[in-house]
Amino acid sequence: MDVVLGIGTRKGLWLARSRDGRASWELTGPLFPITDVKAVAIDTRRSTPRLLASVTSEHFGPTVALSDDLGRTWEEPEHAPIAFPDDTDTALAGVWQLVPGPPDEPEVVYAGTEPSALFRSTDGGRTYELVRGLWEHPHRTEWTPGGGGMALHTVLPHPRDAERVTVAMSTGGVYRTSDGGRSWAPANAGVRASFLPDPEPEFGQCVHKVALHPSRPDRLFLQNHFGVYRSDDGGDRWGSIAGGLPADFGFPIVVHPHRPDVVYTFPLTADVLRFPPEGRCRVYRSEDAGGSWSSLTEGLPGDGFWSAVLRDAMCVDDADPAGVYFGSRSGEVWFSPDEGEHWRPVAQHLPDVLCVRAAVLP
């Protein structure tokens, strides 16, 4: 089994590769040194896997680079592949999300940006167009920045219906389309926003991440700014699944690739205490869709771990058994080859980890 892991950091991109069934890893980098790499995608829909990386330079600004040889060489466009049209009077601050489209649209790639907007590519990620339906939504003028900015950080194409896409942003909440992006509706009922006068508003929630399982796409899991939720009806209504967790604040939420009832998260103490409860490094897993949770610690640091895991810094591969990965703000990357039971380091002493993405190569 051949596995590649993309690690985006505050100071560039690292790639880890295992050719021996995840027994050992070869680490290369930094690529694009001294840039923010907020998003990485590994597109395995094509015969030659394509890597895409969101790269933001303080000098040159944001761009999207791609590689068709697993990172040995990169294609960087001369002109910005993602740019707001002139009539929007808006400048792109960064790309927070790169997501391949559904299997039956192999050239479609989505990008979520700062400020909050959705872009769509139909040429494999080389060029992108603004999805006007979301940008022109009447709520947009009332979306406000969260602590990390006003960014669209989650894009979930429906695996069987190309017309349906779900997105999430801070602090706008969850929105979805069923007509290919021409119209969008908020999908936040039941998600609390305790910082607003109405604690359950139609929109305005500070959603941190949303995940779905490809075999059960109407079941969604959501990590909120205070709150962990599940929806079984595609976002019509959300219910809390935070019971059994040591805290309901955190950033990532990740679904197992084959078992739709299995979900992972990494709780933090609170919004102003962004480190794990008791300073202990613990991944939490539910095997019953959030009905109960267990901590996974075998091989992880014990006491004195005061780092955090960001919204895109946890992922799974699609092997069997699945590999689970996460990176910390202190530059450590860990993985479990057995779905969370045991953990080993992939890399240490990297810059602040912003995102990790893993894939089993065909």
CA 304 and chain centroid, separation = 27
Decide if pLDDT at 149 tops 90.
no
pLDDT of residue 150: 93
Transcribe 198-240 into DSSP letters: SSS-SS---EEEEEEETTEEEEEEEEESS-EEEESSTTS--EE
Identity of residue 335: F
Residues 6+ apart with CB under 8 A from 78: none
pLDDT of residue 292: 98
**How far apart are the C-alpha atoms of 353 and 150, rounded to whole Å?**
20
**Edge-to-edge strand order for the sheet containing 294-296?**
249-255, 263-268, 283-286, 294-296
Between vectors from CA 313 to CA 128 and to CA 140, what angle results, nearest 5°?
45
Q: Which domains does the chain possess?
A: 3-360 (2.130.10.10)
Count of Cβ atoms closer than 10 Å to residue 239 Cβ:
11
Decide if pLDDT at 113 tops 90.
yes
Between vectors from CA 41 to CA 184 and to CA 307, what angle results, nearest 5°?
95
Query: What's the mean pLDDT in 144-166?
Result: 93
Decide if pLDDT at 233 tops 90.
yes
pLDDT tens digits, residue range 58-86?
988 999 999 999 999 999 888 889 999 99
pLDDT of residue 199: 87
Query: What's the mean pLDDT in 25-31?
Result: 97
pLDDT of residue 196: 83
Identity of residue 343: W
Count of Cβ atoms closer than 10 Å to residue 48 Cβ:
10
Query: What's the mean pLDDT in 270-285?
Result: 96
CA 255 and chain centroid, separation = 11
Strand, helix or coil for residue 277: helix
Query: What's the mean pLDDT in 249-266?
Result: 97
Q: How far is CA 63 from CA 74, 93, 284, 312, in A?
A: 12, 10, 34, 18
Query: What's the mean pLDDT in 175-201?
Result: 94
pLDDT tens digits, residue range 298-348?
999 989 999 999 999 999 999 999 999 999 999 999 999 999 999 999 999
CA dihedral 166→168→174→179, nearest 10 degrees, is -30
pLDDT of residue 5: 98
Stretch among 56-60, 97-101, 247-251, 349-353 having the lowest mean pLDDT: 56-60
Detail the DSSP E strand segments found in 287-330.
294-296, 314-316, 324-327
Cβ-based burial of 258 (10 A; exposed 0-12, middle 13-18, buried ≥19): middle
pLDDT of residue 148: 83
Residue 47: pLDDT band with limits 50, 70, 90 = confident
Residues 6+ apart with CB under 8 A from 28: 14, 15, 16, 17, 71
**How far apart are the C-alpha atoms of 129 and 123, rounded to whole Å?**
11
Q: Are 299 and 290 in contact (CB under 8 A)?
A: no
Transcribe 152-174 into DSSP letters: EEEEEE-SS-TT-EEEEEETTEE
pLDDT of residue 341: 98
Decide if pLDDT at 33 tops 90.
yes
DSSP state of 264: E
pLDDT of residue 342: 98
pLDDT of residue 300: 97
Q: Is the pTM value of this prediction over 0.85?
A: yes
